[in-house]
Amino acid sequence: MGIRIIVDSTSDISADQASRMNITIVPLKVIFGDKEYREGEEISIDEFYEKLVKSESLPTTSQPAPDDFLRYFKEAKSAGDKVIVLVIGSKLSGTFQSAVIAKEMVDYEDIYVIDSKTSTCSLRILVERAVDLRDKGVDAQEIVAKLMDLKERTVLIGLVDTLEYLHKGGRLSKSSALIGTLLKFKPIIALKDGTIGLIAKERGVQKGITRLIEAVSEMGEVDMDFPVYLGYAQHDDRCKRLREKLASTLGLSNITMYPVGCVIGTHVGPGACILTYVKK
């Protein structure tokens, strides 16, 4: 009897990484017009951003159906394995609800569906912690308890080029989006209790980076027992500048950078730079 870990594709964990971690990825979908793609399976990150830039209209995204989880749950039930499911925040997507419905359909108590309240590299931190604990032989219920505590300490804050994508995707109000667009500010966004909000705006990238680092300092000390990640949407130059600044001002080194995938990229847009970490 083992522990299976299932995560959705907004964690931006590649298929190769998932194989090495011995986890299962359930993909969300991105839709351009009448063409639907399963993230990480039917469209690459580079192909997605090429399409996004050229597209006359913003693509849409779609959550997995309960059936997308159901077959994995049935396999685990047959094997007598426990299942830990880590998914994008329920205020950002209906993926959590789909997983809950699938659990009810299979009627198996040893499935733990966790609303991460976050996504992208921040969700990756939770997944990596779950894998580490599983590989150390920790019981599923104890892993879940530790993840429930950890998710409340994860931070996701980012610098985006425009709020247009977040607004059109329904993740930000029209008034907040207009403020940044009309005045040509570089908006700084953050996840708070699973909801995206505008926390600051600055003219120019450099001022935006400075303000983002100030916001990190205001949020509390970084817990260096956990990784610090930067996610970049199409271009990594902005994240490289932020990484250098984080090292020189806050002493944060060994920051790993990962590309932001299709679903999250749809909402933050090209040029976005997302910082994720755990606070003490």
pLDDT at 274 over 80: yes
Q: How confident is the model over 56-65, as a mean pLDDT?
A: 91
Q: Which two tokens stand for residue 226?
A: 């956990």
What is the tens place of the pLDDT at every residue in 147-185? Answer: 999 999 999 999 988 776 655 544 455 555 455 555 567
Q: What is the pLDDT of residue 72?
A: 98
- What per-residue string of b and e applies to 178-205 under the rule 16 or more CB within 10 Å gives b? eebeeeebbbbbbbeebebebbbbbeeb
Give the least confident one: 170-179, 226-235, 243-252, 268-277: 170-179
Domain(s) of CATH 3.30.1180.10: residues in the chain = 154-278
Q: What is the pLDDT of residue 101?
A: 98
Assess if CATH 2.40.50.140 describes domain 154-278.
no
Higher pLDDT, 21 or 167: 21
**CA atoms of 111 and 184, how far apart (whole Å):** 47
Would you say the pTM of this structure is higher than 0.75?
A: yes
pLDDT at 276 over 70: yes
pLDDT at 143 over 80: yes
| Top-tier CATH class for 3-28+63-151 | alpha beta
Under 8 Å between Cβ of 63 and 93: yes
